[in-house]
């Protein structure tokens, strides 16, 4: 997920930092990268990408709305267990690339709810000339190397001014592998891998409505990164393949930029629901 050469505002240890620290903000987000714009068999047309390339196909997902959690939920834990892994919540500044045009993005642990699903939320409010974007971010306390990463998610209330992502990230993007969805492109998912702050490959895939439930999968090997949606391979990258161990993160944060994430939508709360996460070592 995250694109563009913007350095992070705050870094912290990958191993075992607790809630209340500054967020593990990725170095990249915001501008389009190299690669391809592709479409799926759902019949929707591409909303555009700066790259060029081939077309791939897959299903458009299963329609769903609202949280299906039927078990007691916990709001804002600093640490929690989900899908068999230990996670932590983050607070502080969201990725700096989103903080333009008067937008002030932050992460708040109280925007994280843990039950049978992991729910992240984002709300944008107006305060004078500023837009306050209160989002959410969680990260595994474990780091990972090569293997298969799979998660099932949907976005509820898809609106301009948001970025919802599942991704691997190590300091200074020595490893960064993203599946990223932005609010102004409701049928797109952006697949990006980085090996350092300037070496990357990026492809935007369209035809997958964020509001529907999708199974997303990343297969990371020493020579290649493959992305799957709903069981179908949508793109493979062989450039800028990273090798450093990295934790896995989910986040949802606000934007106010027409070229990335879209202009802010003031008022409504939107949600990213994650129903599972798995890792299978290579």
Report pLDDT digits (tens) over 21-72. Answer: 334 555 454 434 444 544 443 333 323 333 333 333 344 565 544 444 456 8
In 3-state terms, the chain is what percent helix, strand and coil (to 5)?
A: 5, 45, 50
Report pLDDT digits (tens) over 96-153. Answer: 889 999 999 999 999 999 999 999 999 999 999 999 999 999 999 999 999 999 999 9
Pairing, β 162-169 against β 147-156: unpaired
For residue 146, being part of any structural domain is answered with yes
For residue 150, being part of any structural domain is answered with yes
For residue 25, being part of any structural domain is answered with no
Considering the entire predicted model, what is its pTM? 0.81
- Containing structural domain, residue 89: 37-281
How many structural domains is the chain composed of? 1
For residue 23, being part of any structural domain is answered with no
Q: What is the pLDDT of residue 72?
A: 81
Residue 109 and residue 19 in contact, taking contact as beta carbons nearer than 8 Å: yes
What distance in Å separates the CA atoms of residue 139 and residue 145, rounded to the nearest whole number?
15
For residue 17, being part of any structural domain is answered with no
For residue 128, being part of any structural domain is answered with yes
- Please name the residue ranges forming H helices in the chain: none
Instruction: Tell me which residue of 223, 254, 90 sits closest to 159, measured CA to CA.
Output: 254
DSSP structure string for 197-252: SS-EEEEEEES--TTEEEEEEEEE-SS-EEEEETTEEEEEE-SS---S-B-EEEEE
For residue 260, being part of any structural domain is answered with yes
For residue 250, give the CATH number of its domain.
Answer: 2.60.120.200
């Amino acid at each position: 997920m995250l694109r563009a050469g913007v350095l992070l505002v705050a870094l912290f240890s990958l191993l075992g930092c607790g809630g209340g620290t500054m967020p593990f903000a990725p170095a990249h987000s915001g501008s389009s990268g190299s690669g391809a714009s592709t479409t799926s068999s759902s019949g929707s047309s591409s909303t555009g990408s700066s790259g060029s390339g081939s077309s791939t196909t897959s299903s458009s997902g299963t329609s769903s709305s609202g949280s299906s959690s039927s078990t007691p939920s916990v709001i804002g834990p600093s640490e929690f267990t989900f899908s068999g892994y230990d996670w932590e919540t983050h607070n502080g500044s969201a990725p700096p690339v989103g903080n333009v045009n008067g937008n002030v993005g932050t992460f708040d642990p109280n925007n994280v709810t843990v039950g049978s699903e992991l729910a992240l939320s984002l709300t944008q409010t107006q305060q004078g000339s500023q837009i306050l974007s209160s989002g959410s971010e969680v990260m595994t306390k474990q780091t990972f190397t090569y293997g298969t990463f799979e998660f099932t998610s949907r976005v509820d209330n898809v609106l301009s001014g948001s970025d919802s992502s599942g991704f691997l990230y190590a300091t200074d993007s020595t490893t960064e592998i993203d599946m990223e969805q932005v609010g102004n492109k409701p049928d797109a998912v952006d697949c990006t891998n980085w090996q350092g702050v300037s070496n990357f490959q990026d492809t935007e895939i369209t035809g997958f409505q964020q509001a529907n439930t999708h199974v997303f999968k990343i297969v990371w090997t020493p020579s290649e990164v493959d992305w799957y949606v709903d069981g179908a391979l949508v793109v493979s990258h062989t450039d800028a393949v990273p090798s450093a161990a990295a934790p896995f993160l989910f986040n949802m944060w606000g934007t106010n930029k027409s070229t990335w994430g879209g202009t802010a939508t003031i008022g409504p709360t939107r949600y990213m629901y994650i129903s599972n996460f798995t890792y299978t070592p290579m």
